Amino acid sequence: MSARISGSTFKAEQKIRWGLLPDRPDILYKYLNECEALASKFDELDAKGLFERAIDTLVEVICDPCVPLHWRRLCLDNLYRPIGCLRRIQVSSGAHRKLNKKMRDINMLAKYFLSD
């Protein structure tokens, strides 16, 4: 991705990834809002990269047993936002197939890492 995110967005991303403030869901919501706002200023390729980065960050959280369980579940519950944004900007059927495969992989990982 050639587009850069701001320092504050990067810091929020790190707090989310490592679950540093698990009782502050507003950090996650603000981060996702910032990603959507930034993507609207980027070209399609950079926006795609930004949403993929957000998805990957949330998936990493979901799969990290060192992060509090309620934070991991919150990240799973909010994965629909970057996935939906990515789905809207992708137009080729190949890109949609790739995203569908990623969603299947995420479902499998979530069942494994978040099962009771």
Q: Is residue 19 part of a domain?
A: yes
Contacts of residue 65, Cβ cutoff 8 Å, sequence gap at least 6:
113
Q: Is residue 1 part of a domain?
A: no
Query: Which H or E element spans position 24?
Result: none
Whether the per-residue pLDDT at 7 is higher than 50: the answer is: yes
Tell me the C-alpha distance between 17 and 64, whole Å. Answer: 9
Tell me the C-alpha distance between 106 and 84, whole Å. Answer: 14
Q: Is residue 47 part of a domain?
A: yes
Cα 54 to Cα 115, 116, distances in angstroms: 23, 26
Instruction: Note the pLDDT of residue 4.
Output: 74
Instruction: Note the pLDDT of residue 90.
Output: 87
Number of domains in the chain: 1
Q: Is residue 2 part of a domain?
A: no
Whether the per-residue pLDDT at 1 is higher than 70: the answer is: no
Average pLDDT over every residue of 33-41: 95
Compare 106 and 115 and report the one with higher pLDDT.
106
11-25 pLDDT tens trace = 999 999 999 999 999
Domain range for 54 is 7-113
Note whether 16 and 57 are within 8 A (CB): yes
DSSP code, position 78: T
Q: Is residue 88 part of a domain?
A: yes
Q: Is residue 86 part of a domain?
A: yes
Instruction: Note the pLDDT of residue 3.
Output: 58
Prediction pTM value: 0.92
- Residue 2: which pLDDT band, with cuts at 50, 70 and 90? very low
53-110 pLDDT tens trace = 999 999 999 999 999 999 999 999 999 999 999 999 988 899 999 999 999 999 999 9
Cα 31 to Cα 5, 23, 82, 101, distances in angstroms: 11, 15, 11, 25
